[in-house]
Structure 1
């Protein structure tokens, strides 16, 4: 794990956006297309705002969320809806979105179809993850129903996940897909998450799911 500390969150957003832009540009230099996986939530919003203005060949970039709540896109809880407002705008509007939601009662009803859309874009070129104070990342939550299966080396690319702290059922990229990325970054802010990161380094991936990806991650932190 590499840890980069920034003086404040504005500089974190600028530095991380520059790093992600460089990683995507390198992936596009080496390959016809690049795949970019990003978190939901509000924390990465300022980074997305900066990224969306970068002069990349966005028409050669496919974007997929790390995970999605099983809610329609017009729900205020939808990560996809947030992504369309913050990242897939301006220059980045030319990117292709790989969906992690399709109308159905449960994620299991559509997971095979969604996985089929994802697999051609693997391995992922660049991954940006977040982390919760409970040390979850993507929808790999401590105590989740399918956590051990999603951490396994032979896990399928996508799995449904339910956990006490997750709210709705989720669909998530699994640990092998995240670890298989050519470039892996984690964005965290605040003292609570910094302390959680320190704890995670001494726990198992079952106890602290983010531990599964820390070995090859660059962590970006500001108070």
Structure 2
């Protein structure tokens, strides 16, 4: 793990956007396409605002969320909505997007067909993760039912998670898939998340799921 500290969130966003753009360009030099899995929530928005204007062959980039809440894509809690609104703009509008939510279906019923779309994209070329103060990442929540399977070395690419702390079911990439990404970035803001990350280093992944994906990850922190 490498830890990078920035004076403020704007500086972090510019630098991380530049690093991710470089990662994608490098991958595309040697491959027909690049897969890019991104966190949802509020953390990556500033990065996306800069990254979407990067001079990349975006038509060769395949974007997916690290996880998705089982809500309609036009609602505020949808990661797809945030990704479309902040990342898939400007030059990045040419990227291909792989949605995880399927309207009027249950997540368990579509898991196999979604996995068939995800597997050809593996290993992920570039990964952008976030982390909660509870040390969860993607939708891998500590203590949630099914977390052991999601963290297992032989886990499937995707799992359905129904954490008690959340109002809806979620589909998430598993720790095995996240950890195998070629270039990995974790972005966290604030003292509370920095302390949580430091605490996670001494805890097992079942208690601190972020711990399962920190190997060779570049962490970016700003107050």
Normalised TM-score (structure 2) = 0.98
Q: For residues 99-119 of structure 1, what are the alpha-carbon distances to aligned partners after superposition, in whole Å with 9 as ceiling and x for unaligned?
A: 111123421011111111111
Q: Which runs of 5+ in 1 are unaligned?
A: none
1:61 counterpart residue number: 61
1:192 counterpart residue number: 192
Q: For residues 44-102 of structure 1, what are the alpha-carbon distances to aligned partners after superposition, in whole Å with 9 as ceiling and x for unaligned?
A: 10100101000100000000100000011012111101111000111000000011111
Instruction: Point out the more displaced range, 101-110 or 180-189.
Output: 101-110
1:139 counterpart residue number: 139
1:130 counterpart residue number: 130
CA distance, structure 2, for counterparts of residue 105 and residue 64 of structure 1: 19
2:157 counterpart residue number: 157
1:94 counterpart residue number: 94
Cα distance, 1:9 vs. partner? 0.7
2:32 counterpart residue number: 32
Contact 1:101 1:114 in 2 (8 A): no
CA distance, structure 2, for counterparts of residue 104 and residue 134 of structure 1: 31
Instruction: Please report the RMSD computed on the Cα atoms of aligned residues, expressed in angstroms.
Output: 0.8
Cα distance, 1:196 vs. partner? 0.2
CA distance, structure 2, for counterparts of residue 24 and residue 211 of structure 1: 25
1:113 counterpart residue number: 113
SS at match of 1:50: helix
Moved over 4 A (4+): none
CA distance, structure 2, for counterparts of residue 61 and residue 203 of structure 1: 35
Q: Which runs of 5+ in 2 are unaligned?
A: none
2:172 counterpart residue number: 172
Contact 1:68 1:78 in 2 (8 A): yes
CA distance, structure 2, for counterparts of residue 190 and residue 198 of structure 1: 13
Normalised TM-score (structure 1) = 0.98
Cα distance, 1:166 vs. partner? 2.6
SS at match of 1:171: strand
How many aligned positions are there? 223
1:83 counterpart residue number: 83
Cα distance, 1:17 vs. partner? 0.5
CA distance, structure 1, for counterparts of residue 65 and residue 91 of structure 2: 19
Q: For residues 145-188 of structure 1, what are the alpha-carbon distances to aligned partners after superposition, in whole Å with 9 as ceiling and x for unaligned?
A: 11000100110000000112232100000011001110001000
